[in-house]
């Protein structure tokens, strides 16, 4: 569902251009493209009787907005969890935060414990014990990324 939401700005731009009739290929663009000049027709789109925007500007701003939306992806969860199950009800978890975010930088431990409690509930266990837990920041060319890792052991119900 979240992956589909990424393409909403692109879909909205396509619908706007289709509604304005901008998808019609002008007669002077028949043949091999591009010829001399721009591939985008020199057209204004009238939003209201007194406001019009050049199609070229609209396409540039739509491209920039779509790229920013795909990179920032405000609807994606802040943390991605990778987990591995081991014998004796041990689970190792690695958490990676989005590189570009607004908020949620201090919630790694909360997300870790929330997932541990979910594993307890799903497996019908009594509880869990944290065997180890670390938080750090990994640097890369694209920017720093918060990470956390930990291991838990699920405890059986007595009786």
Query: Looking at the structure, do residues 123 and 150 belong to the same domain, yes or no?
Result: yes
Residue that finishes a domain, picked among 72, 100, 121: 72
pTM of the complete model = 0.58
Query: Looking at the structure, do residues 19 and 65 belong to the same domain, yes or no?
Result: yes
Per-residue confidence at 18, pLDDT binned at 50, 70, 90?
A: low
From start to end of the chain, where are the E strands?
44-48, 51-54, 79-86, 90-97, 127-138, 145-155
Query: Looking at the structure, do residues 62 and 126 belong to the same domain, yes or no?
Result: no
Q: Are 146 and 105 in contact (CB under 8 A)?
A: yes
| Domain region containing 96 | 79-155
Query: Looking at the structure, do residues 68 and 86 belong to the same domain, yes or no?
Result: no
Query: Looking at the structure, do residues 60 and 23 belong to the same domain, yes or no?
Result: yes
Higher pLDDT, 29 or 62: 62
At residue 16, does pLDDT exceed 60? yes
Strand 145-155: give its sheet, edge to edge: 79-86, 90-97, 145-155, 127-138
pLDDT tens string 25-47: 555 555 565 556 666 777 888 88
Cα–Cα distance, 159 to 147 (Å, whole number): 38
At residue 151, does pLDDT exceed 90? yes
What pLDDT is attached to residue 15?
62
Number of structural domains found in the chain: 2
Residue that finishes a domain, picked among 52, 72, 92: 72
Query: Looking at the structure, do residues 15 and 61 belong to the same domain, yes or no?
Result: yes
pLDDT tens string 73-132: 777 778 899 999 999 999 999 999 887 776 667 889 999 999 999 999 999 999 999 999
């Amino acid at each position: 569902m979240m992956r589909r939401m990424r393409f909403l700005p692109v879909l909205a731009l396509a619908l706007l251009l289709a509604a304005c009739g901008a998808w019609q290929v002008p007669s002077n663009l028949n043949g091999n493209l591009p010829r001399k000049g721009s591939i985008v027709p020199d057209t204004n789109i009238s939003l209201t009787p007194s406001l019009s925007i050049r199609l070229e500007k609209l396409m540039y701003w739509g491209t920039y907005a779509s790229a920013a939306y795909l990179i920032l992806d405000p609807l994606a969860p802040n943390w991605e969890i990778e987990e591995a199950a081991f014998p004796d009800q041990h689970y190792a978890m690695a958490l990676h935060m989005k590189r570009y975010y607004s908020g949620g930088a201090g919630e790694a431990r909360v997300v870790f414990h929330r997932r541990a409690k979910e594993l307890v509930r799903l497996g019908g266990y009594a509880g869990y014990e944290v065997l180890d837990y670390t938080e750090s920041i990994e640097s890369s060319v694209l920017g720093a990324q918060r990470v956390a890792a930990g291991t838990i052991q699920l405890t059986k119900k007595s009786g």
